[in-house]
Structure 1
Amino acid sequence: MIKLFRFLGPYRWAVAAVMALILMQSLSELYLPTLMADIINDGVVKGDIPYIWKIGGFMLAVTAVGTVVSIAASYLSSRVAAGFGRDVRSKTFRHVENFSLQEFDKIGTASLITRTTNDITQVQQVLIMMMRLMVAAPMMCVGGLIMAISKDSHLSLVFVGAIPILALTIFLIASKGIPYFRVMQKKIDKLNLVLREGLTGIRVIRSFNRFEHETVRFADANGDLTQTAIKVNQIMAFMMPMMMLILNFSSIAIIWFGGLRVSSGHMQVGDLMAFLQYAMQIMFSLLMVSMMFVMVPRASASAVRVNEVLNTVPVIEEKRKDGAAKSDSRSVRGLVEFDNVSFRYPGAENPAISGISFQASPGEVTAIIGGTGSGKSTLISLVPRFYDIEEGAVRIDGTDIRELSIEQLRSQIGLVPQKALLFTGTVSDNIRYGKTDATDAEVKRASETAQASEFIEDLPERYEAPISQGGSNLSGGQKQRLSIARALVRKPQIYLFDDSFSALDFKTDAKLRAALKGETTEATVIIVAQRVSTVMDADRILVLDEGRIVGNGNHRELMASCDVYREIVSSQLSEEEIA
């Protein structure tokens, strides 16, 4: 957890101010019992009313100062903790944005959400407590001991028995509870995962009538977390009763032995009452420490999880060295070359693709077709470096993409993913996601080319029509067309269409591909598709089978030379259409 506190750098003066204010508050609280003893010894016993008023007024002033500094300390510590939480969340989010898909696969999206929200909140809450207590508790404990000994050193022997018992109790209870806090965070991850799947997949759940199954899954994850929470709370629940028991027995001992010393004339009544107050302060300072033992272990487990994310080095690293390729947008042509490329997913026995070699040239449409699991989408994902290849090289204009910065590489690419994903906002916001400074004319032109203007014009607010989360208020085909418009407005050198026409009817598909030709005359276009009708007109068609290229040519050439391609064509088209 200490590693995370490096983010407190901008707040060091505010933290120092909190420490100073807490110190003043502790001093005021330590001074009050002595003033009370003076009132009893020199005012009440002697009947000196003016002295009682005088010291009583001074006590009120000390209390007022203590209250003001306590409020100021609470305000400052809350601001520091809130700022700290904001900074850590921002840093974590920015770091996660640099992750390759491999890191997402390893940690998991649900876990990343939990770590960025729940875990950081746990650390934030403990930070407030630590700033308030890590000065106050030691100050009250040590100061209380010093003041108690100054009142009566013999009676202070009571602490010799009480404090070790108290410390041992805290240690035993905390050592039993700490392991459960780590387990709880993992079970929160599991619950988050089940809940996220249940909400995002609600349409599938309803269509297959799997409510009962999902209810059981959620109940199991929720019950598992609940049982762990109950167990740890049962353990920690012993803390307070045990503390109060030791505290009350200590009070009985102080009053008993203190009464004997008062009766023998070795101690005054006011000093005994002050001693009892200092004993309470000492015990409550240890009680505050016990509260830290409840919160810190859980926050520590959370901090480890957050640090694990922050310390994760993305597998895909940008090379920064002299002589790295420089990009000039005027000279970029967009020639994509795969040279004997092989890739396997982490932990997989067999490569997803192997020995892939081809060129996709500017002004040409290169289509990739193949059966399910043949490696089409995998191949596409290697161009923007979502994953790094295992062997070979992927080049753009003769430069290995690993020699380009991520920003430099991806600024040349317009990707339309297999799953059309839209963001909350308006239609124009989603199209401008590809180019933030796109003009209204550019947005309209991109939507017309993508055949999206037809349905956009029918919306009540047209380009300002709202899009709900994930585009759930649009059909699959409408989402795909907006995704295509988002890539087109970018006007990149390389277009990657990953099965981006699957939700379109044949008529719209044909119109869109015809419109694309006019917009992409100087760009490299790579299309992954399942439908033969989508790829038939491509300049070059690559046929994949089990991760390897088994056919390379245009439609006519492949019909004559590639058995796999002929099988795909015959499964989709009638003999008349083939002819």
Structure 2
Amino acid sequence: MKTLLRLMIYVRPSAKWVFTAVIIMIFATIFDLVAPWVLAKIFDEGIGKSNMSVVIGLTLALAGIQALKSLGMFIQGYSQELVGQNVVFKLRKELYEHLQRLSFSYYDRAQTGQLMSRMTGDIDAVKNFVGFGAMNLFTGMLTFIGTTIFMMTMQWKVTLISLITIPFILLVLFRFNHKVGPAWSNIREQMGRLTTTLQENISGIRVVKSFATENVEQRKFAERNEQNFDTNMDRARLEAKAFPLMGFYGGLTFVLMIWIGAIFVAREEMSIGTFMAFQWYTWGIIWPLNMLGWQINIFQQAIKAAPRVFEVLDTPVDIQTPEQAINTDGMHGNVVFDRVTFFFSDQDLAKDKPILDEVSFQVKQGEVIGVLGATGSGKSSLIGLLSRYYDVSGGSVLIDGVDVREYELDGLRRSIGIVPQETFLFSASIRDNIAYGHPDATQEQIEEAARKSQIHSFIESMPNGYDTRIGERGVGLSGGQRQRVALARAILMDPPILVLDEATASVDTATESAIHEALLEVMKGRTTFIIAQRLSSIQHADRIIVLENGHVAEEGTHKELNEGSGFFRQLFDRQKQIAHQ
């Protein structure tokens, strides 16, 4: 009931169309109920008394009724579809906007395929019920009640006998409703898993082919597909048992009416016209009950799908702009990590195993800071806290003396230009990808950013230059080229803080050297964090911070750390040895 009431909130803006559909539906139902009565009069008052004027007049009236009914069905159908589409539009819009606001921690847990399934299949299931299921259910109830009343007024004895099978049909419907709900719940869940498997395979197709594991992926998909098949067949078996049985009882109702009606006609307790009308009316009893089975099906789909959508909508946005947010205009880029502790998840918290533990250091405006550390040392978490992808578990991160949690969130992130290690480019032109964070940038600004990232010459050599469209996730460009486009995108933002997260990991040493030469000018007066594994990437850093097991293990200049015996010197010796091999 709670789910239904919540769905009605999305129907409310379309109240006038719901009202229109209901009014038209009532009139259409009345036409349906009057038509058999007119038929009875044609037989009794017209054909039975050889009065052709009555036959012609009532026949024309019957044709008019059908014409009006057809017009009403058009208006009703359009209104219902409009209501359903409005609900889908609003639900999808809210869900998409909410997904944009959810923090990184949510996406660390969520599966893309499940989210896609909820955005598409689950919302469509809701639309089918809101747009047509609910209204058709109401139509069926009104038709059943109205038909029963008309039949009772015309011949109550035949009507009561004809309704003997109704309790049996209702019993079948009750048992079907009880079992089909869990079946649709399983189907929605299995569909989400199937979509997840498909999405992961398509996204990782290059990895699959690189390791020649197509057969493994085919078996994985086949298993999910078979599970989806089995759950749908479980539901189909329920339908196969219920609907034919309902059809049998419905047919039995029709047979009873003909048999009992014929007896009453023979006894002259029922006119032939009424008998003919009862044949028509009988379908007004059978049809709503048979349709009720399908409406239960649609209802159960929606009632199992809607909570999956609301589950996402109800997920709290744990990182958002505070009410009294501080504007980031004029930010300089003085950064302080003050005893920062960070637990990545509740599991880490339970184990008392922080990713970062009491990390403290200061960075002045314009400083270039290199960040080194083994995998899992907390390098990326450090940057994630700076940009408020996550919030600290303890301590604070400050920029220009202000806790990052007090800044306007969008402004904070626009003030920090990040070039991630895993570069993502959109299926759009190179120009659009570079200008993604600054869509109003001029061509000159875009080209200048491309020059600084050493990608301008390559773009100019392409057939359509900056208008060249690239494939999904940057397909068509090499790893190094994708990273340089991402670097140009960050440079164009002209942020006071720049973060290069392994930004030159996919380029050769010659290109890396050229990029760093260009970046020397870009980094002037700009606070820069360089996360790297290659020491060549941080040779121009003013200071280097070495993280180890969530702690600042070493801090100093390249020369100072090289004179020590810690992680930095070990890495230096290892890379020097590799270079001489």
The TM-score range, normalised by the shorter chain, is over 0.9
Q: Which one of 27, 32, 36 corresponds to residue 35 of structure 2?
A: 32
Aligned ranges for residues 107-122 of structure 1 at < 5 Å? 107-122=110-125
Query: What is the CA distance between 1:159 and its match in structure 2?
Result: 5.0
Partner of 1:353: 356
Please give the per-residue CA displacement for 1:312-335, whole angstroms capped at 9, x wherever unaligned. 112223321xxx3532523x1111
- The answer on 1:553 being equivalent to 2:553 is no
- The answer on 1:326 being equivalent to 2:329 is no
- Deviating runs (4+, > 6 A) in structure 1? none
Letter in 2 for 1:154: K
Q: Which one of 76, 88, 94 corresponds to residue 91 of structure 1?
A: 94
Partner of 1:52: 55
User: 2: distance between equivalents of 1:158 and 1:570?
Assistant: 98
Query: What is the CA distance between 1:78 and its match in structure 2?
Result: 1.6
User: 2: distance between equivalents of 1:333 and 1:278?
Assistant: 81
Please give the per-residue CA displacement for 1:340-376, whole angstroms capped at 9, x wherever unaligned. 1111222233211211111222211111011111111
Partner of 2:66: 63
Contact 2:117 2:192 in 1 (8 A): yes
Contact 2:322 2:405 in 1 (8 A): yes
SS across alignment from 1:388? coil
Contact 1:101 1:386 in 2 (8 A): yes
SS across alignment from 1:467? coil
Partner of 1:387: 390
Query: What is the CA distance between 1:179 and its match in structure 2?
Result: 0.4
User: 1: distance between equivalents of 2:328 and 2:414?
Assistant: 12
Query: What is the CA distance between 1:561 and its match in structure 2?
Result: 3.4
Q: Which one of 454, 458, 462 corresponds to residue 461 of structure 2?
A: 458
Partner of 1:41: 44
Contact 2:340 2:356 in 1 (8 A): yes
Query: What is the CA distance between 1:87 and its match in structure 2?
Result: 2.0
Partner of 1:7: 10
User: 1: distance between equivalents of 2:91 and 2:325?
Assistant: 34
Letter in 1 for 2:283: M
Please give the per-residue CA displacement for 1:128-157, whole angstroms capped at 9, x wherever unaligned. 223541331121011111111111112222
Contact 2:84 2:132 in 1 (8 A): no
Query: What is the CA distance between 1:279 and its match in structure 2?
Result: 2.2
Please give the per-residue CA displacement for 1:354-401, whole angstroms capped at 9, x wherever unaligned. 111112222111110111111111211111111111111111111111
SS across alignment from 2:294? helix
Partner of 1:480: 483
SS across alignment from 1:259? helix
Letter in 2 for 1:326: I
Larger deviation: 63-72 or 45-54? 45-54
User: 2: distance between equivalents of 1:358 and 1:540?
Assistant: 11
Letter in 2 for 1:426: S
Query: What is the CA distance between 1:485 and its match in structure 2?
Result: 0.3
Letter in 2 for 1:329: D
- The answer on 1:570 being equivalent to 2:573 is yes
Larger deviation: 51-60 or 307-316? 307-316
Contact 1:174 1:236 in 2 (8 A): no
Letter in 1 for 2:494: K
User: 2: distance between equivalents of 1:396 and 1:79?
Assistant: 50
Partner of 2:212: 209
Q: Share of identical aligned residues, percent?
A: 29
Contact 1:425 1:467 in 2 (8 A): yes
Partner of 1:343: 342
Partner of 1:278: 281
- The answer on 1:522 being equivalent to 2:525 is yes
Query: What is the CA distance between 1:403 and its match in structure 2?
Result: 1.3
User: 2: distance between equivalents of 1:159 and 1:335?
Assistant: 86
Q: Which one of 221, 225, 229 corresponds to residue 224 of structure 2?
A: 221
Figure out how many residues of one structure are paired with residues of the other and give that number: 573
With normalisation by structure 1, the TM-score equals: 0.96
Q: Which one of 496, 501, 507 corresponds to residue 499 of structure 2?
A: 496
Contact 1:551 1:562 in 2 (8 A): no
Letter in 1 for 2:327: S
- The answer on 1:164 being equivalent to 2:143 is no
SS across alignment from 1:355? strand
With normalisation by structure 2, the TM-score equals: 0.96
Letter in 2 for 1:191: L
Q: Which one of 416, 432, 435 corresponds to residue 413 of structure 1?
A: 416
User: 1: distance between equivalents of 2:25 and 2:492?
Assistant: 58
User: 2: distance between equivalents of 1:94 and 1:338?
Assistant: 32
User: 2: distance between equivalents of 1:115 and 1:335?
Assistant: 43
- The answer on 1:176 being equivalent to 2:175 is no
Please tell me the root mean square deviation across aligned C-alpha atoms, in Å.
1.6
Query: What is the CA distance between 1:187 and its match in structure 2?
Result: 0.9
- The answer on 1:22 being equivalent to 2:21 is no
User: 2: distance between equivalents of 1:271 and 1:82?
Assistant: 43
Letter in 2 for 1:344: F
- The answer on 1:196 being equivalent to 2:199 is yes
Partner of 2:542: 539
User: 1: distance between equivalents of 2:419 and 2:162?
Assistant: 72
User: 1: distance between equivalents of 2:54 and 2:70?
Assistant: 24
Query: What is the CA distance between 1:174 and its match in structure 2?
Result: 2.3
Query: What is the CA distance between 1:552 and its match in structure 2?
Result: 0.8
User: 2: distance between equivalents of 1:480 and 1:533?
Assistant: 17
Please give the per-residue CA displacement for 1:449-500, whole angstroms capped at 9, x wherever unaligned. 0111121121111111111111011000000000000000000111111111
Larger deviation: 232-241 or 305-314? 232-241
Please give the per-residue CA displacement for 1:1-31, whole angstroms capped at 9, x wherever unaligned. 4213322233211121111111111111111
Gap regions ≥5 residues in structure 2? none
Query: What is the CA distance between 1:307 and its match in structure 2?
Result: 0.6
Larger deviation: 445-454 or 261-270? 261-270
Please give the per-residue CA displacement for 1:46-65, whole angstroms capped at 9, x wherever unaligned. 11111111100000001000
Contact 1:338 1:359 in 2 (8 A): yes
Query: What is the CA distance between 1:238 and its match in structure 2?
Result: 2.2
Partner of 2:434: 431
Contact 2:338 2:395 in 1 (8 A): yes
- The answer on 1:255 being equivalent to 2:255 is no
SS across alignment from 1:127? helix
Contact 1:541 1:555 in 2 (8 A): yes
Contact 1:23 1:135 in 2 (8 A): no
Contact 1:102 1:315 in 2 (8 A): no
Q: Which one of 302, 305, 318 corresponds to residue 302 of structure 1?
A: 305
User: 2: distance between equivalents of 1:31 and 1:541?
Assistant: 88
Query: What is the CA distance between 1:272 and its match in structure 2?
Result: 2.0
Distance 1:143 1:240, change over 3 A: same
SS across alignment from 2:79? helix
Contact 2:265 2:272 in 1 (8 A): yes
Query: What is the CA distance between 1:539 and its match in structure 2?
Result: 0.6
User: 2: distance between equivalents of 1:239 and 1:50?
Assistant: 48
Letter in 2 for 1:25: A
Please give the per-residue CA displacement for 1:217-258, whole angstroms capped at 9, x wherever unaligned. 010011110111111111112232112100111112122222
Distance 1:530 1:576, change over 3 A: closer
Contact 2:426 2:433 in 1 (8 A): yes
Contact 1:262 1:268 in 2 (8 A): yes
